[in-house]
Amino acid sequence: SKSGVDLLSHVALRARQSGALLATCSDDQYWDALVTSLTATPSPVRVTVDISTGTVDVSEGDAVAAATSSSSAKAAAGAVSLSPVDTSISSWAVAPAEYAPGVVGGKSSNLATLAQLASEISSITGVDVRVPQSIAMPFGSLERTLAMPENADASSALDEALTALDAATDNDGTLSALANAQSAVLQLQMPDGLAAEVAASAQTAGLTSLASASSDDWWPAVRQVWASKWNLRAHSSRVALGVAEADLQMAVLLMEVVPSDYAFVLHSRNPVNTDDESVLGEVVVGLGETLVGNHPGSAMRFTAAAPEQVIVAALPSKLEAMKMTESSVICRSDSNGEDLENFAGAGLYDSFMTNGVSTHTVNYANEPLLWDASFCTSLGGKLAGVAKTLEILLGAPQDIEGAVVGDVVYLLQARPQQL
């Protein structure tokens, strides 16, 4: 990459988990030469890194060795098993009390656990910890929607696309089949009764912004989440893991968007050096997409062996921040192939906000996250305390995403950290 990589972004997490080389090159001349070399070599390549000089050499690779390595990786990945699902659920929407294994995926289940623990974390740390309101569309909702008579054409188009995907022998064929699969899902009409059930469930859960919203605001986002099952990134991962298309099920978590002053990702065990039990955290201004999506620039990065032992390792330089302009709901992918004990699946599938988000240039002249050292260490200490407390309560290191609004810390997601 020509730009820096946030250590806790989704792409960095996937690279560490897969053992892939992920490096940054800030030298324009060397970068241009490297791109030219890679572009001119259509066959497999071998990348050799000399850590003593920092140089990277690209040479023609051995196709047999590459195939063997790929097969070995797939064999190792085969240890990943998808969570079992119950597709017989008759409800279109479920509240947090109904977030049970098999009904929804890891995101929803873990969010319900966080809601149960929030008050205990607050009591232990002295930090006001909260969890946003949510409901979920359970496993089987996509399949039930496809089975409706009004969606017969879309269902047929999806079947044709998946047949073509299975038969594809080159990149163009794969890309075309995936695009057709996504197009078919995006044409789905809403079944009768779905909107009313979502509104009622949202009202019960206290998610008033969704309860009062028009289905025109959130139904397109739900379809986009379902369609993301067939993006290239997710499909390639399933092929590598040996996961059949039909085995991957997609629930949808509809969650209140927190109007973040700051967003963060925390690993309660330093992923760069797992012998180091300190917390590693990254913080950005505004919503968290600029961090997990690895937008240009760097997050504020810190480590903390204890809440009172915060070391700021990098200052923020993200050029832009995302902010809410009105209340919004985010429709989040919640498959049975994410947030597993031995596989995070971070960022494989997509999430979409319904409305109310703008992007603006960060004014660092007035931003304490850059110039106020005491603010940074205080914030880092507060977050480190939450992270370590959550690790203790859940019995394992955690990968945590959240937001800060004033003095309140919102926990948006937690999953077992991949070490």
Q: Determine if residue 196 is left, alpha or beta; phi over 0 gives left, psi from -120 to 50 gives alpha, anything else beta.
A: alpha
- Spell out the residues 6+ positions from residue 52 whose beta carbon is closer than 8 angstroms to its own: none
User: Could you give the 3-state DSSP secondary structure of residue 32?
Assistant: helix
Q: Which of 137, 236, 238, 142 is nearest to 184 (CA)?
A: 142
- Contacts of residue 45, defined as CB under 8 A and 6 or more positions apart, other chains included, come to 38, 58, 59, 60, 61
Sequence-distant (≥ 6) Cβ neighbours of residue 13 within 8 angstroms: 271, 344, 346, 347, 399, 418
Which residues, including other chains, have CB under 8 Å from residue 316's CB and lie 6 or more apart? 283, 284, 285, 297, 298, 299, 300, 362, 364, 367, 369, 370
Q: Is 295 a catalytic residue?
A: no
- Burial class of 203 by CB neighbour count within 10 A (0 to 12, 13 to 18, 19+): middle
Dihedral sign, CA of 294, 251, 188, 173?
positive
Q: Which residues are catalytic?
A: 10
